[in-house]
Amino acid sequence: MSILARIKSFFGMEAKPDKEASQEEVEKVAEEKAKPRIGYIHLSGCTGDGMSLTENYDILAPLLTDMIDIVYGQTLVDLWEMPEMDIALVEGSCCLQDEHSVHELMEVREKAGLVVAFGSCAATGCFTRYSRGGQQAQPNHESFVPIADLVKVDLAIPGCPPSPEIIAKTVVAAINGDMDYLQPMMDLAGYTEACGCDLQTKVVNQALCIGCGTCAMACQTRALSMTNGRPELNENRCIKCGICYTQCPRSWWPAERINQDLGL
C-alpha cells in the first residue's frame, strides 16, 4: 500500500487542505477522528527532539489527551512489549554495535504503519556521524547511522532539534490527512547523507545560489556565514544535520503551500 493510502486509511479520511494548526482545528479534529496510536522510540539521540515537541504548550494538552494515544515509549508508557502502532516517531540514529537498538528498530518497522525519522539524528545521522568509538561505557560503540540505512522510512523531519512549529504543523497535517503538506517530509526521507558542504555541491556548484542568506540563518550551530554573497562553512562547527540545504529556497520549492499560507 502506498504511504498516502496508508496514512489515509489509518485516519479514515481523504486528503484535504488545511491552513494552520489553530486551536479550533485541533479540537475539531480531536472530536471527529479516531485517535492514532503513537509510539516514541528513543535510539541514539539527546532527547532534544522530544523536548521540542513538548514546547508546543498551547496544543500539547489537547494533543496528548484528545488527539492521539501514546502507546509506547521509554518514560512515557509503562509497557515492555512493543505494541502495534500507527505512527512511530524515532528519535536518534542507530548504533550498529548495539544489538538492542538494531533489534528495536527492526521491530518498530514491523509494528508501526508509518516510521518517522524524527529529528536529524534519525534522519541524517547528524552529530552522531562524528562518533569514532573508543569511549566508555561501550568503547566498541562507534558506528551510528540514520535509521533509513536499516529500515524503510516514510517521513523525515530533520532539525537539531526540529522546531516546535514544524512538529505542530506536521502533527496536524498528519491527523488531517493533508498529504500535500507532508510531501516534502516524504521526499526528505531519502536525504540521509547531509552536510553543510551540500550548499557548495548542490547549490553553488549547480549555479543556483542567489546569496539570500537563508542557509546561514537556518544553521543551528552557526557553522555558516556569508562571504561575498555565498555561504562559507566552518566544518568544525557543522553537525551534518542537513537543515541549511533543507531550508534553502533553491533545494525544493513548495510554491502552492506558500501561496495558500499567505492567502495569495
* By the rule CB under 8 A, 208 interacts with another protein: yes
Amino acid (1-letter code) at residue 3: I
Q: Could you tell me the smallest distance in angstroms from the CB atom of residue 69 to another protein?
A: 26
Contact present, 193 and 202 (Cβ < 8 Å) = no
Q: Are strands 69-73 and 94-95 parallel, antiparallel or unpaired?
A: unpaired
* By the rule CB under 8 A, 210 interacts with another protein: yes
71, containing H or E segment:
strand 69-73
Contact present, 43 and 197 (Cβ < 8 Å) = no
10, 41, 45, 52: which one binds another protein (CB under 8 A): 52
3-state secondary structure of 83: coil
Q: Could you tell me the smallest distance in angstroms from the CB atom of residue 169 to another protein?
A: 8
Residue with Cβ nearer another protein (136 or 228): 228
150, 217, 232, 238: which one binds another protein (CB under 8 A): 217
Query: Candidates 97-105, 106-114, 144-152, 239-247 — which segment interacts with another protein by CB under 8 A?
Result: 239-247
Q: What is the CB neighbour count within 10 angstroms for residue 140?
A: 11
Cell numbers 509510539: residue: 39
* By the rule CB under 8 A, 164 interacts with another protein: yes
Contact present, 159 and 126 (Cβ < 8 Å) = no
Binding site for another protein (CB under 8 A): 52, 120, 157-160, 162-166, 169, 184, 202, 206-214, 216-218, 220, 225-226, 228-229, 241, 243, 246-259, 261-264
